[in-house]
């Protein structure tokens, strides 16, 4: 065979493979992003996979094949491949979540599937998710998280805010399998450059801890059991100390706005029954959407300030605030505990009604 002709035929073949990849990528909304966390399944097929499929189709049609037939076969094969990848990710997500405590879904929680369907994400929405993958965008130092949730078939990528970079690494808390809750999010839609929607960085993400997990229990014991609210209040050098506190959420309530700035406070109770207010200002009030009464809050390096009352005057009472170095962990109340509490309440009410009926009968 003439080497020149063979070279030309090879060039045509490679051009067709590149063309087919572009067509498939376009059909599935891709932009050439093959990063590890790119969507529920990558939109752009790998080059090697495309070559193998084209050769397989050529062998299957020994009497000859057209470009349209090859494209049709490629489209069908890639559709099945993407379904398989999505199913594998769903199984992986289920395995990550199956040992976790079931808890009640928060009121503003939305699913990842609904984000993709509506191509919209409100900053007031809450995303309850588990980290499926942590990766760096090639050629950058930008970290991404691939998130999934227990109600969705799809996943979504999050540009990680830099305040959380210190929690990534071999011994970091933020890793595959970690449950997180986030709010204050905005969506970068597919029409703005990416082949799939991604969540832009948010400062309002809470990492969930499980006291029944040895690693989490060790973190809580080592980092959050040293200081109490009382000891902090008595310490004259408190502004030079990096405190960490572990306390139960007793109450969540709105405060009178400071001018046009919205405020909320979370009343915390520690193991010594000492109370303190954790005050959120402005956009920070979105964090309160992630909290529920009865859950345990682990606060690392909160900002210590004097409370500002409704008359806008600073008092001598101390409070905690969400500073630039503050990190929040949450140990949510398990659904079983909530259900037990509800069952006890129902039993008490039933007993009370029964006593009332007995008194009526006796009288």
- CA 40 vs CA 25, 90, 133, 139, 161: distances in Å: 14, 9, 12, 22, 22
Domain ranges of the chain: 45-85, 87-208, 225-335
Measure CA of the first residue to CA of the last residue in the chain; give whole Å: 112
pLDDT of residue 135: 87
Q: Which of 85-89, 112-116, 129-133, 339-343 has the lowest mean pLDDT?
A: 339-343
Cα angle 21, 82, 31; round to 5 = 40
pLDDT band at 314 (very low <50, low <70, confident <90, very high): confident
pLDDT of residue 125: 95
Q: Using CA atoms, how far apart are residues 328 and 332, in angstroms rounded to an integer?
A: 12
Contacts of 107 (CB under 8 A, 6+ apart): 126, 289
Q: Is 16 left (phi over 0), alpha (psi -120 to 50) or beta?
A: alpha
Q: Is the pLDDT of residue 35 over 50?
A: no
Tens of pLDDT along 42-99?
567 888 888 888 888 888 877 778 888 888 788 777 777 766 666 666 666 666 655 4
Contacts of 41 (CB under 8 A, 6+ apart): 81, 82, 83, 85, 86, 89
pLDDT band at 286 (very low <50, low <70, confident <90, very high): very high
Cα angle 177, 87, 69; round to 5 = 140
Q: Using CA atoms, how far apart are residues 144 and 133, in angstroms rounded to an integer?
A: 8
Tens of pLDDT along 198-243?
999 999 999 999 988 899 999 999 999 889 999 898 888 887 889 9
pLDDT of residue 344: 42
pLDDT of residue 253: 95
Tell me whether the CATH fold assigned to 87-208 matches the one assigned to 225-335: yes
Full 3-state SS string of the chain: CCHHHHHHHHHHHHHHHHHHHHHHHHHCCCCCCCCCCCCCCCCCCCHHHHHHHHHHHHHHCCCCCCHHHHHHHHHHHHHHHHHHHHHHHHHHHHHHHCCCCCCCCCCCECCHHHHHHHCCCCCCCEEEEEEEEEEECCCCCCEEEEEECCCCCCCEEEECCHHHHHHCCCCCCCCCCCEEEECCCCEECHHHCCCCCEECCCCCEEEECCCCCHHHHHHHHHHCCCCCHHHHHHCCCHHHCCCEEEEEEEEEEEEEEECCEEEEEEEEECCCCCEEEEEEEHHHHHHHHHCCCCCEEEEECCEEEEEECCCCCEEEEEEEECCCCCEEEEECCCHHHHHHHHHHHHHHHHHHHHHHHHHHHHC
Q: Using CA atoms, how far apart are residues 167 and 161, in angstroms rounded to an integer?
A: 11
Q: Tokens 């093959």 belong to which residue?
A: 34
Class of domain 225-335 (CATH, top level) = mainly beta
Q: Is the pLDDT of residue 27 over 80?
A: no
Say if CB 338 and CB 351 are below 8 A apart.
no
Torsion 250-254-255-258 (CA) sign: positive
Q: Is the pLDDT of residue 191 over 60?
A: no
Q: Which of 88-102, 127-141, 257-271, 349-363 has the lowest mean pLDDT?
A: 349-363
Q: Which of 228-242, 295-309, 327-341 has the lowest mean pLDDT?
A: 327-341
3.20.20.140, 3.40.50.720, 2.40.50.550, 3.20.20.100: which CATH number matches 87-208?
A: 2.40.50.550
């Amino acid at each position: 065979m003439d080497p020149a002709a063979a070279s030309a035929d090879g060039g045509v073949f490679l051009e067709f493979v590149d063309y087919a990849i572009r067509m498939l990528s376009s059909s599935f909304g891709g932009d050439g992003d093959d990063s590890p966390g790119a969507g529920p399944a990558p939109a752009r097929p790998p080059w090697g996979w495309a070559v193998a499929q084209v050769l397989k189709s050529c062998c299957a049609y020994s009497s000859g094949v057209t470009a349209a037939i090859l494209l049709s076969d490629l489209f069908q094969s890639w559709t099945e491949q993407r379904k398989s990848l999505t199913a594998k990710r769903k199984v992986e997500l289920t395995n990550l979540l199956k040992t976790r405590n079931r808890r009640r879904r928060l009121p503003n929680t939305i699913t990842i599937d609904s984000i993709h369907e509506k191509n919209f994400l409100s900053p007031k929405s809450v995303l309850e998710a588990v980290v499926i993958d942590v990766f760096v965008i090639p050629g950058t130092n930008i970290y991404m998280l691939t998130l999934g949730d227990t109600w969705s078939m799809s996943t979504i990528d999050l540009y990680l805010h830099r305040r959380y970079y210190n929690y990534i690494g071999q011994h970091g808390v933020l890793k595959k399998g970690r449950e997180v809750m986030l709010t204050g999010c905005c969506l970068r839609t597919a029409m703005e450059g990416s082949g799939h929607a991604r969540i832009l960085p948010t400062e309002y993400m809470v990492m969930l801890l499980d006291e029944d997990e040895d690693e989490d229990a060790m973190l809580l014991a080592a980092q959050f059991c040293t200081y109490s609210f009382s000891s902090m209040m008595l310490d004259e050098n408190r502004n030079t100390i990096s405190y960490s506190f572990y306390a139960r959420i007793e109450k969540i309530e709105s405060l009178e706005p400071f001018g046009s700035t919205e405020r909320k406070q979370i009343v915390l109770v520690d193991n010594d029954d000492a109370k303190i207010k954790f005050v959120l200002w402005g956009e920070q009030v979105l964090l309160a959407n992630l909290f529920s009464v009865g859950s345990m809050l682990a606060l690392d390096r909160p900002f210590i300030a004097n409370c500002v009352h409704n008359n806008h005057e600073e008092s001598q009472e101390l409070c905690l605030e969400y500073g630039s170095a503050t990190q929040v962990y949450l140990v949510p109340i398990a659904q079983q505990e909530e259900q037990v509490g509800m069952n006890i309440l129902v039993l008490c009410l039933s007993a009370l009604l029964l006593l009332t009926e007995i008194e009526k009968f006796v009288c």
